[in-house]
């Protein structure tokens, strides 16, 4: 019989009304509270929303912040200031956690966000079973694709170097050693971590299906546009290398097409210039950030969602497409390439840029001329989403991990096996 545990959950990004990592940070705590008593430590940014959502469920919220003067100073120090703030917050959390644990002991401590190994897991030193993650950060752009990053290529190279240096950081090394288990977002990050820690790693995607997406829209019933409509949605980061798709489209795919690109971000101007350079800007609509209701209307008519990420730990729009009956074309690389498989998406290898562009062009041509293929992929994608990305399915795996860690920590505890 499973034990009801007292869990300390730490989430730097946490907001029940937020999106992305903030929504996921809350989701882990909310799901854990269905079977356990959760003490949630998070910053006070979304305090009102967290306190409201914590009512009637087994979550005790502890807001931990930093002083106003420290925030003021770190705000003026750029990237280094942001890094300094996160480390300072970790130290403050450890102090608070020790104070609570001394009088009301925890069974398990789990740090769910940050979604990166670069910020250490200080509370792994509490002396109880500890779970770190999902963490990502080991992904990198495949060699030879730097031209598709435009002016951001140098920054990406610096990031790759910083990642390798972070593995040498004493605080990161101490966290990797102290954590009882490490949940990694994808196999690419797993391979990046030092070999001596991989045995205690488990791969679990950070992405999860929203409750409103649990009921599928049958792919065959969508009001798909007669024109082949391509959609991308998400942050316009340079590593989501849209110029790969532009290049494939510029050489022709044998059918009339249009593209809706929803989102904002630092690479947007570069993408616009590439679309113009390739002579397709009249068929690409850059929509910026749009309301979710408007995005839903675009999704309803979409023929395919493209997600050509050269470095990404996941991709929430891929999960959107999986639950909305939209065929997916993605690169077979890192997080996105693991969220789907060959039965639920067209996956394009990243062997070299020329072959990748040709693969994208071929995939778009197949979907444009074979709607039944798209319906089959979308059906399989929905089933995969329900199996691997529902909160219930994801947390079943994490709960099993909790129980087994506690059994190993306390041999008198009955094993689940």
Within-domain flag for 1 = no
- What pLDDT was estimated at residue 38? 96
Looking at the structure, tell me whether residues 366 and 327 fall in a common domain: yes
Per-residue pLDDT tens digits for 195-229: 999 999 999 988 888 776 666 555 445 566 688 99
- What pLDDT was estimated at residue 146? 95
Write down the pTM of the prediction: 0.87
- pLDDT-derived band at 412 (thresholds 50, 70, 90) equals very low
Q: Are 146 and 159 in contact (CB under 8 A)?
A: no
Within-domain flag for 416 = no
Looking at the structure, tell me whether residues 394 and 382 fall in a common domain: no
Looking at the structure, tell me whether residues 17 and 36 fall in a common domain: yes
Per-residue pLDDT tens digits for 239-256: 999 999 999 999 999 999
- What pLDDT was estimated at residue 236? 96
- What pLDDT was estimated at residue 2? 66
Looking at the structure, tell me whether residues 268 and 188 fall in a common domain: no
Helix axes 268-277, 242-250, angle to 10 degrees: 10
Domain carrying residue 47: 6-208+390-409
Give mean pLDDT, residues 229-245. Answer: 96
Give mean pLDDT, residues 329-336. Answer: 91
Looking at the structure, tell me whether residues 363 and 405 fall in a common domain: no
CATH of the domain at 302: 3.40.50.2000
Looking at the structure, tell me whether residues 75 and 217 fall in a common domain: no
Q: Per-residue DSSP letters for 108-156?
A: EEEEEES-BTTS--GGGGGSS-EEEEEEB----PPTT-GGGGGGGHHHH
Q: At residue 375, does pLDDT exceed 70?
A: yes
Looking at the structure, tell me whether residues 370 and 395 fall in a common domain: no
Per-residue pLDDT tens digits for 70-116: 888 888 888 778 888 898 999 999 999 999 999 999 999 999 999 89
Looking at the structure, tell me whether residues 36 and 153 fall in a common domain: yes
Choice between 209 and 48, residue whose per-residue pLDDT is larger: 48
């Amino acid at each position: 019989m499973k034990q009801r545990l007292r869990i300390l959950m730490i989430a730097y990004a946490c907001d029940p009304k937020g999106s992305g990592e903030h929504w996921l940070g809350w989701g882990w705590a909310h799901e854990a509270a269905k079977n356990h008593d959760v003490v949630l430590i998070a910053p006070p940014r979304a305090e009102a929303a967290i306190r409201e959502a914590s009512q009637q469920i087994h979550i005790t919220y502890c807001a931990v912040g930093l002083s106003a003067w420290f925030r003021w100073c770190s705000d003026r120090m750029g990237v280094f200031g942001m890094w300094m703030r996160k480390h300072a917050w970790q130290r403050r959390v450890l102090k608070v956690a020790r104070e609570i644990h001394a009088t009301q002991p925890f069974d398990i401590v789990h740090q769910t966000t940050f979604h990166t190994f670069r910020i250490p897991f200080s509370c792994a030193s509490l002396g109880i079973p500890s779970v770190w993650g999902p963490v990502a950060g080991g992904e990198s752009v495949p060699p030879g694709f730097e031209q598709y990053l435009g002016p951001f290529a140098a920054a990406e190279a610096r990031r790759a170097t910083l990642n390798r240096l972070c593995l040498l950081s004493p605080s990161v090394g101490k966290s990797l050693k102290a954590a009882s288990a490490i949940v990694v977002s994808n196999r690419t990050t797993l391979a990046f971590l030092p070999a001596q820690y991989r045995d205690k790693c488990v791969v679990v995607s950070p992405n999860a299906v929203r409750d409103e997406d649990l009921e599928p829209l049958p792919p065959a019933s969508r009001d798909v546009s007669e024109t082949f409509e391509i959609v991308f949605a998400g942050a316009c980061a340079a590593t989501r290398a849209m110029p790969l798709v532009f290049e494939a489209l510029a050489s022709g795919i044998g059918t009339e097409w249009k593209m809706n690109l929803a989102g904002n971000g630092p690479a947007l101007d570069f993408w616009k210039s590439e679309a113009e350079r390739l002579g397709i800007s009249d068929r690409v609509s850059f929509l910026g950030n749009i309301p979710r209701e408007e995005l839903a209307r675009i999704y309803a008519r979409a023929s395919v969602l493209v997600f050509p990420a050269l470095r990404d730990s996941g991709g929430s729009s891929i999960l959107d497409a999986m639950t909305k009956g939209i065929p997916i074309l993605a690169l077979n690389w890192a997080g996105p390439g693991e969220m789907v498989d060959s039965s639920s998406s067209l996956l394009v290898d990243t062997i070299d840029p020329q072959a990748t562009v040709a693969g994208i062009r071929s995939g778009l041509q197949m979907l444009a001329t074979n709607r039944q293929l798209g319906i089959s992929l979308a059906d399989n994608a929905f089933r995969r989403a329900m199996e691997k990305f529902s909160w219930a399915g994801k947390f079943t795996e994490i709960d099993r991990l909790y129980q087994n860690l506690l059994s190993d920590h306390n041999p008198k505890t009955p094993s689940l096996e």
